């Protein structure tokens, strides 16, 4: 359950923790693997079902990056 100290809920304990070099690590809750750096974030299996997708920070950041690229592409030409 989400609360004020952990708004993402109990499954996101490691999500968003900083590593030694200052990069943020994002946790894939489906595979329990970490990914670092926002530029390299990508869903490991975007075509497969994932029960965590609606609350997944990796999916959200990836979708946000695609929208920014589409918006930048539309404003260029």
Model confidence at 1, in pLDDT bands (50, 70, 90)? very low
Residue 29: inside a domain: yes
Residue 41 lies inside a defined structural domain of this protein: yes
- Whole-model pTM? 0.64
User: For residue 54, is it within any domain?
Assistant: yes
| Domain ranges, residue 24 | 12-76
Neighbour tally for 53: CB within 10 Å:
15
Q: How many structural domains comprise the chain?
A: 1
List, for residues 20-56, the tens digit of each pLDDT value: 556 789 999 999 999 988 888 899 998 999 999 999 9
Amino acid 5: pLDDT:
46
> Distance between CA atoms of 62 and 3, rounded to whole angstroms?
25
Residue pair 11/29 in contact (Cβ under 8 Å)? The answer is yes
* pLDDT greater than 50 at residue 2: no
């Amino acid at each position: 359950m989400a609360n004020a100290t952990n708004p993402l809920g109990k499954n996101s304990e490691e999500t968003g923790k900083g590593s030694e070099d200052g990069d943020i690590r994002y946790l894939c809750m489906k595979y329990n693997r970490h990914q670092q750096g926002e530029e390299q974030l990508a869903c490991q299996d975007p075509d497969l079902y994932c029960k965590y997708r609606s609350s997944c920070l990796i999916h959200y950041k990836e979708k946000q990056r695609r929208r920014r690229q589409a918006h930048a592409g539309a404003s260029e030409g």
